[in-house]
């Protein structure tokens, strides 16, 4: 598979003939299906728990990388890189979960002389901090939820900023997601205690106790736009997915198109998603997430710098193979 050269990456002129999938299960199988269509050989890595799993049999080459615990296998960067070198892989695709949004892993792959099928380590790092991400996209003119994203994190400072933002408000971990380190407060009562509790949970979950304060948007919709950027500075979007049906901040149902978006609002949000990608020099596939108020206001939430679980519904309505797009961009 020949790839066009690019000034953005010294490895972009290298061909991908053999790709290692640094993941397991359904996503590994999904990547391998597209690789077969593209004529790219695949390498599976597996732990002892997955020795008989279908994705291992589907690969052209399979390499055991350790025992069942993920820390000793799917999260062991040195073992994954060693498997790639020993099998002659040209590239590594991280799938989703595990190391897919780990900037150090993306950097290590490239330093090993391999192609990382994903965005730059710098983009992953910037979007991994919600505070830095919001500063970057706000400077590009993309609306963000009013609140406090500053570096001063003392409890007294955060409490004062919370009173400025007003109630209801949302305390949220800067470095994480999934509802960890998150608190909704509707009054000043117990404010400092809630800040300390959210900080402890964020530190425990993400090794980073930094918090953000946002105005809490009542009854929001959660709208995300799929973007795809090349290594020449061009970013496009492939429309939206709505994931408003959630339980404990975890998505349950994804649908597209969203019934909440008029053509005009869809255009505005799509343009904002592209602006986010351009603001951080994003290439490869990613997802820009927004919240949408009942009044039609939308605000930037975060960027998922990977392929998402729900990507097939975008493929279904656009006819675009996002895995193929990721590989071709890489």
Annotated active-site residue in 199, 221, 306, 326: 306
Burial of 149 by CB count in 10 Å (0-12 exposed, 13-18 middle, 19+ buried)?
buried
The contacts of residue 99 (CB under 8 Å, 6+ apart) are 22, 74, 75, 77, 80, 105
Cα end-to-end distance, the chain, whole Å: 11
DSSP for 253-283, please give it. Answer: EEESS-TT--HHHHHHHHHHHHHHHHHTT--
DSSP-based three-state secondary structure for 82 = helix
Are 255 and 188 contacting, i.e. CB atoms less than 8 angstroms apart?
Answer: no
CA pair distance 303, 283, nearest whole angstrom: 12
CA pair distance 256, 254, nearest whole angstrom: 7
Across the strands, what pairs with 62? 44
CA pair distance 272, 255, nearest whole angstrom: 20
- Starting at the earlier edge strand, list the strands of the sheet with 298-304: 250-255, 235-247, 221-229, 284-292, 298-304
Across the strands, what pairs with 64? 46
Q: How far is CA 194 from the centre of its chain?
A: 28
Catalytic annotation present for 107: no
Helix (H) or strand (E) holding 243: strand 235-247
Give me the active site residues, please.
306
């Amino acid at each position: 598979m020949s790839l066009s050269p690019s000034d953005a990456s010294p490895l972009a002129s290298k061909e991908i003939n053999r790709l290692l999938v640094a993941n397991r299960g359904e996503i590994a199988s999904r990547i391998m299906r597209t690789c077969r269509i593209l004529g790219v050989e695949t390498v599976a890595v597996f732990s002892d728990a997955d020795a008989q799993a279908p994705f291992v049999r589907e690969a052209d080459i399979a390499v055991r990388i350790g025992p069942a615990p993920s820390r000793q296998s799917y999260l062991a960067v040195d073992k994954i890189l060693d498997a790639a070198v020993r099998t002659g892989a040209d590239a590594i695709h991280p799938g989703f979960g595990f190391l897919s949004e780990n900037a150090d892993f993306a950097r290590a792959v490239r330093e090993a002389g391999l192609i990382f099928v994903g965005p730059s380590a710098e983009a992953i790092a910037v979007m991994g901090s919600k505070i830095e991400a919001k500063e970057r996209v706000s400077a590009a003119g993309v609306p963000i939820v009013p609140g406090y994203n500053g570096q001063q994190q003392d409890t007294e400072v955060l409490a004062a900023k919370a009173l400025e933002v007003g109630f209801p408000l949302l305390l949220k971990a800067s470095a994480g997601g999934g509802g960890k380190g998150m608190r909704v407060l509707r009054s000043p009562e117990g404010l400092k205690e809630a800040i300390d509790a959210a900080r402890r949970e964020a530190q425990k979950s993400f090794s980073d106790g930094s918090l953000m304060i946002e105005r809490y948007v009542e009854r929001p919709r959660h709208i995300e736009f799929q973007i795809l950027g090349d290594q020449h500075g061009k970013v496009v979007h492939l429309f939206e997915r709505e994931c408003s049906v959630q339980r404990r901040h975890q998505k349950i149902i994804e649908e597209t198109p969203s019934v909440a978006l008029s053509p005009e609002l869809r255009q505005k949000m799509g343009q904002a998603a592209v602006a986010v990608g351009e603001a951080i020099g994003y290439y490869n596939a990613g997802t820009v997430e927004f919240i949408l108020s009942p009044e039609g206001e939308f605000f930037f939430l975060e960027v998922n710098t990977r392929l998402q679980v729900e990507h097939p519904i975008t493929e279904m309505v656009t006819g675009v193979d996002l895995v193929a797009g990721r590989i071709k961009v890489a």
